[in-house]
């Protein structure tokens, strides 16, 4: 019996559909556990991705890790789960380890594919520089799936939704407020990212990078020194010690491609590098490379994107 936890407070995210699809690939009987206020109609559509039943506890309305752990543990015990699946996101990173201790179930975090024939599960290690095969020694397994590792697949029809309540106990964490950034695309979820580094010489030169991001509908990012000297906000810093991202397209302008930078972006599907130095290490990790001065290349690229966008309409 497979259990999948999804967060449905803001509707059904792509990563939620990925985890349900993943559950379906592991076994026929998939129970989805969720909390929050998504409508029963919406939740029943999870059946299309492989759920046979959805259990929702609306009394757990936040993301308190203790409440969620109690809720999921109680469902796991009732249905006799042998596998529990999470998305390896903020909630998964808080709840899956707790559940591992509570159920004495080995946790594989950041799985990138379904289990191999020998039962091991592949994960990224050394910040994406290698992959490891993990074996779970306990009878019950917990797997958290790295977002964007598999695609959601429709395989069935709507399923039943069962309401339950009070399984989470009391919340210890109180949410005071949530500040939403206006208009910006949040970096961790962005499919397209435009990034720049020290090669841009100063914060006053970021206008052309922001313009490119706007034209493409991309998020902006930067290298660590650029955030450290205050040219760009800290939340844009990607790399080993910043945010790790896996967008479909990563455009890096004036970034040398130090190993610590690559560690945060090497999961990108396509990488474009613009650098004056043909020897810049980033070219080794790139799919498309342009040796040239950012101050000439970027404005030219922006014009080309404008032309392309205009032709599409």
Partner 1 sequence: MKILVCISKSPDTTSKVAFTDGNTKFDENGVQYIVNPYDEWYALVRALEIKEAGGGQVTIVTVGAATDEAVIRKALAIGADEAVRIDADPKDAYYTATQIAEYAKSNGFDLILTGKETINYNGSQVGGMIAEALDLPFVSLAEKLDVNGSTLTLEREIAGGVQVIEVATPAVVSCAKGMAEQRIPNMRGIMAARTKPLTVVAPVAVEDLTSYVSYTMPNAKSAVKMINPENMDELVELLHNEAKVI
Residue closer to partner 1 by CB (options 210, 293) is 293
Taking residues 261 to 280 in sequence order and writing x for each that binds partner 1 by CB under 8 A, - otherwise, the string is --x-----xx-xx-------
Count of residues touching ligand FAD (by CB under 6 A): 26
By C-beta, is 103 or 159 nearer to partner 1?
Answer: 103
Helix (H, G, I), strand (E, B) or coil at 68: helix
Of 17, 148, 6, the C-alpha closest to 91 is 6
Q: How far is the CB of 263 from partner 1 (least distance, A)?
A: 7
Of the residues 239, 245, 247, 267, which one makes contact with ligand FAD according to CB under 6 A: 239
Instruction: Considering the complex, state which of residue 82 and residue 127 has its C-beta at the smaller distance from partner 1.
Output: 127
Residues 6+ apart with CB under 8 A from 25: 50, 114, 150
Binder among 188, 198, 205, 281 for partner 1 (CB under 8 A): 188
What Å distances lie between residue 249 and 42, 115, 191, CA to CA?
31, 28, 7
Contact by Cβ (8 Å): 123, 108: yes
Report whether 54 contacts 162 (CB < 8 A). yes
Site for ligand FAD contains 258 (CB under 6 A): yes
Choose between 99 and 280: whose C-beta lies nearer to ligand FAD.
280
**Consecutive H or E run containing 20:** helix 14-26
According to the binding rule CB under 8 A, does residue 82 interact with partner 1? Answer: no
Report the alpha-carbon angle 260-263-268, nearest 5.
140
225 interacts with ligand FAD by CB under 6 A: yes
**Binding stretches for ligand FAD (CB under 6 A):** 197-199, 223-226, 239-242, 254-256, 258, 260-261, 264, 274-277, 280, 293-295
């Amino acid at each position: 019996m497979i259990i999948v936890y999804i967060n449905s407070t803001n509707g059904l995210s792509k990563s939620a559909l990925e985890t349900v699809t993943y559950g379906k690939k592991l076994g026929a009987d998939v129970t989805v556990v969720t909390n929050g206020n998504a409508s029963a109609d919406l939740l029943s559509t999870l059946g299309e991705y492989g759920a046979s039943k959805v259990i929702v506890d609306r009394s757990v309305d936040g993301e308190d890790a203790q409440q969620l752990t109690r809720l999921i543990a109680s469902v796991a015990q009732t249905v006799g789960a042998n596998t529990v699946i999470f998305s390896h996101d903020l909630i998964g990173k808080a709840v899956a380890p707790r559940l591992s201790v509570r159920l004495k179930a080995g946790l594989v975090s950041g799985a990138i594919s379904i289990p191999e024939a020998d039962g091991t599960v592949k994960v990224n290690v050394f910040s994406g520089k290698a992959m490891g095969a993990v074996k779970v020694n306990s009878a019950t397994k917990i797997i958290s799936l790295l977002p964007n590792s598999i695609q959601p697949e429709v395989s069935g029809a709507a399923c039943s939704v069962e309401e339950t309540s009070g399984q989470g106990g009391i919340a210890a964490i109180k949410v005071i407020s949530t500040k939403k950034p206006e208009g910006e695309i949040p970096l961790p979820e962005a499919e397209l990212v435009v990034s720049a580094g020290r090669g841009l010489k100063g914060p006053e030169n970021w206008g052309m990078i922001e313009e490119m991001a706007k034209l493409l509908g991309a998020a902006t990012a930067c290298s660590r020194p650029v955030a450290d000297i205050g040219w760009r906000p800290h939340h844009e810093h990607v790399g080993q010690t910043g945010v790790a991202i896996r967008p479909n397209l990563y455009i890096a302008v004036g970034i040398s491609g130090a190993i610590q930078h690559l560690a945060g972006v090497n999961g990108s599907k396509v990488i474009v590098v613009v650098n004056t130095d043909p020897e810049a290490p980033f070219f080794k990790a790139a799919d498309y490379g342009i040796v040239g001065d950012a101050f000439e290349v970027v404005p030219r690229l922006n014009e080309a994107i404008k032309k392309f966008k205009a032709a599409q309409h």
